[in-house]
């Protein structure tokens, strides 16, 4: 382990994908493979620029996301990790995650990922029915997921997350039940279950406007969520965050950084950072990102100082996403003021509504609170 005081997490954004999924509003771009080489050259330079800024920190987690990081040649990822290891102090037992999509993986790529130190894989499945995968713009079939999952196990990945989405157009409760059953059968360590949110600037957003699709009813959405909680709980997965379930000891340490309001640095186009009481993001466009770094500048925009009130609100809002909730003792240690003195009336109001509960010094969402989480969060903004 590194003998340094501060710990921080590192996010690396790879914005390329083969095709844009119909629900996706992430900073990702299809059909721009000609920019892969110049993009990574810019990314390598950005990694180097943070060497001095992070010299007193230990990197406790690394998350390589996108886009589809597994789309690009593994050598690009390898060089990025090598540069991070050279310029930063990466903790000996750091969690190093990479997102991957079926249809872009091979056993050779997976071997390469393991050899370069990636120890956690996050695979985007979304659903196990091929008709649904096609209807949401996925490039793979369910059989490719099964093959890639087995290959990942074969090369030594013992910490795998599977991403799922419920509330998809034309998805039935029986479809969702089947997906949960099949994913549980894999024995994966972590499962993320996200309720579909149709965003305006997406294919689904356009289809919603024209009436080509209809959102599922709130009732069906909640039935799917309750089914996930029930089935995954019975299968030994702990529901530790609104959308996340894990076997004991396999909670995503990188995402816990966000939910616990801890510091992180984001590298790559559109990546976000939170460091030294400032939040900022990089330029979103690939061309703009490359051009800025080529000119010798940091690709940073939208820098914002986070004051003490915002820090308190974020500690509560993000922390309440965790089923363990927040600790009043930890709040007071962090901010020097008692939680009940500042927010006691709001907490009592929400408790009377049955949305939060108090246990010892901890405050957490109830089952109903999980369903109406945004109504809870808005109280603390």
Q: What is the DSSP string of 297-315?
A: ---EEEEEE--HHHHHHHH
pLDDT score, position 14: 98
pLDDT score, position 2: 43
Q: To which residue do tokens 């990197």 refer?
A: 59
pLDDT score, position 1: 40
pLDDT score, position 119: 98
Percentage above 90 pLDDT, the chain: 98
> Bridge-partner residues for 14, per DSSP?
66
Do residues 18 and 103 make contact, with C-beta atoms less than 8 angstroms apart? yes
Nearest-CA neighbor of 215 among 179, 163, 176, 171? Answer: 171
Do residues 273 and 262 make contact, with C-beta atoms less than 8 angstroms apart? no
Burial of 30 from C-beta contacts in 10 A (0-12 / 13-18 / 19+): middle
Tokens matching residue 39: 């993009």
- Global pTM? 0.96
User: What residue ranges of the chain have pLDDT lower than 50?
Assistant: 1-4
Indicate the length of the chain as a whole number: 381
User: What string of H, E and C letters represents the secondary structure of 67-121?
Assistant: CCHHHCCHHHHHHHHHHHHHHCEEEEEEEEEEEECCCCCCHHHHHHHHHCCCCEE
pLDDT score, position 335: 96
Nearest-CA neighbor of 381 among 322, 294, 287, 318? Answer: 318
Enumerate domains of the chain plus CATH numbers. Answer: 6-259 (3.20.20.70), 308-380 (1.10.10.920)
pLDDT in tens, 305-330: 999 999 999 999 999 999 999 999 99
pLDDT in tens, 107-128: 999 999 999 999 999 999 999 9
C-alpha gyration radius of the chain? 21
Interacting residues of 305 by C-beta distance below 8 A, sequence separation 6+: 277, 278
Please state the φ and ψ torsions of residue 19, each to the nearest 5 degrees.
-150, 150
3-state helix, strand, coil in the chain (%, to 5): 45, 25, 35
Do residues 124 and 133 make contact, with C-beta atoms less than 8 angstroms apart? no
pLDDT score, position 23: 96
| Spatial separation of the C-alpha atoms in residues 209 and 268, rounded to whole Å | 33
Please state the φ and ψ torsions of residue 361, each to the nearest 5 degrees.
-95, 10
| Spatial separation of the C-alpha atoms in residues 239 and 218, rounded to whole Å | 21
Query: Within its chain, how far is the Cα of 9 from the centroid?
Result: 13
| Spatial separation of the C-alpha atoms in residues 377 and 369, rounded to whole Å | 10
pLDDT in tens, 13-60: 999 999 999 999 999 999 899 999 999 999 999 999 999 999 999 999
pLDDT score, position 13: 98
Do residues 280 and 25 make contact, with C-beta atoms less than 8 angstroms apart? no
């Amino acid at each position: 382990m590194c003998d340094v005081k501060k710990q921080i997490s590192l996010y690396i954004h790879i914005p390329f994908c083969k095709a844009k999924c119909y629900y996706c509003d992430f900073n990702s771009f299809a059909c721009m493979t000609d920019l892969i080489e110049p993009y990574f050259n810019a990314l390598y330079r950005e990694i180097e620029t943070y060497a001095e800024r992070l010299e007193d920190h230990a990197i406790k987690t690394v998350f390589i996301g996108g886009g589809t990081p597994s789309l690009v040649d593994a050598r690009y990822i390898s060089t990025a990790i090598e540069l991070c290891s050279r310029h930063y102090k990466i903790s000996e037992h750091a969690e190093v995650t990479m997102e991957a999509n079926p249809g872009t993986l091979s056993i050779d790529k997976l071997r390469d990922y393991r050899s370069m130190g990636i120890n956690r894989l996050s695979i985007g499945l979304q659903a196990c029915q091929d008709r649904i995968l096609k209807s949401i713009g996925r490039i793979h079939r369910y059989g490719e997921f099964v093959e890639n999952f087995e290959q990942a196990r074969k090369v030594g990945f013992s910490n795998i997350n599977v991403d799922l989405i419920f509330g998809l157009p034309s998805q039935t409760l029986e479809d969702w039940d089947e997906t949960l059953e099949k994913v549980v059968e894999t024995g994966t360590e972590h499962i993320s279950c996200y309720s579909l949110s149709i965003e305006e600037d997406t294919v689904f957003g356009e289809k919603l406007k024209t009436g080509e699709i209809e959102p599922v009813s709130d009732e069906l959405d909640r039935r799917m969520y309750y089914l996930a909680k029930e089935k995954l709980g019975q299968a030994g997965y702990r529901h530790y965050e609104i959308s996340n379930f894990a076997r004991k000891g396999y909670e995503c340490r990188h995402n816990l950084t966000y939910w616990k309001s801890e510091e992180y640095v984001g590298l790559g186009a559109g990546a976000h950072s939170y460091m030294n009481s400032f939040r900022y993001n990089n330029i979103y466009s690939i061309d703009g990102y490359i051009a800025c770094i080529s000119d010798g500048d940091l690709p940073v925009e939208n820098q914002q100082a986070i004051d003490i009130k915002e820090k308190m609100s974020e500690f509560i809002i993000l922390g309440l996403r965790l089923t363990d909730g927040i600790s009043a003792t930890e709040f007071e240690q962090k901010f020097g003021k008692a939680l009940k003195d500042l927010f006691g009336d709001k907490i009592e109001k929400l408790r009377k509504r049955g949305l939060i509960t108090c246990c010892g010094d901890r405050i957490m969402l109830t089952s109903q609170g999980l369903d109406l989480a945004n109504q809870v969060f808005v109280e603390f903004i």
